[in-house]
């Protein structure tokens, strides 16, 4: 699909404010399950629209829904908590970092 331009008014009214890698532009996305992504230069009335394979708003709500209703989601939650704790314990049990050692030696 070729990029095309669209008016800022339209996307501001009907699309969702969003984020994108180009932080200096204003971003709007077609409401799910749409895949269009508009990037509007600040102060411009025209936005460049392109097709994104993934709509983060779409995949996020999908993800949350599936997450809540599936055992897999539960399993992932448990695993991520365990991994998170293990990481924390590892971090806490690390020997002093060089800076704090210098602090105590001096
Ligand atoms: Zn995009």
pTM above 0.75, yes or no: no
11 CA distance to ligand 1 middle (Å): 14
Residue 51, C-beta contacts closer than 8 angstroms, at least 6 positions apart: 1, 35, 36, 37
Q: How far is the CA of 76 from the centre of ligand 1 (A)?
A: 28
- Protein residues within 5 Å, CB atom, of ion ligand 1: 37, 52
**What is the per-residue pLDDT across 33-51, written as a single tens digit (0 to 9) for each?**
888 999 999 999 999 999 9
Condensed to tens digits (0 to 9), the pLDDT of residues 6-33 reads 999 999 999 999 888 888 999 999 988 8
Using the mean position of ligand 1's atoms as its centre, give its distance from the Cα of residue 104 in Å: 51
Alpha-carbon gap, residue 55 to 84, rounded angstroms: 28
């Amino acid at each position: 699909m070729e990029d095309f331009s669209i008016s800022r008014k339209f996307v501001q009214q009907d699309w969702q404010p969003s984020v994108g890698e180009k932080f200096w532009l204003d971003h709007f996305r077609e409401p799910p399950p749409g895949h269009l992504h508009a990037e509007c230069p600040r102060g411009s009335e025209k936005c460049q629209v392109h097709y994104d394979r993934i709509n983060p708003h779409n995949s996020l709500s999908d993800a949350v829904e599936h997450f809540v209703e599936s055992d897999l989601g539960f399993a992932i939650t448990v695993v991520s908590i365990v991994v998170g704790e293990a990481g924390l314990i590892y971090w806490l049990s690390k020997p002093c970092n060089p800076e704090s050692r210098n602090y105590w030696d001096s």
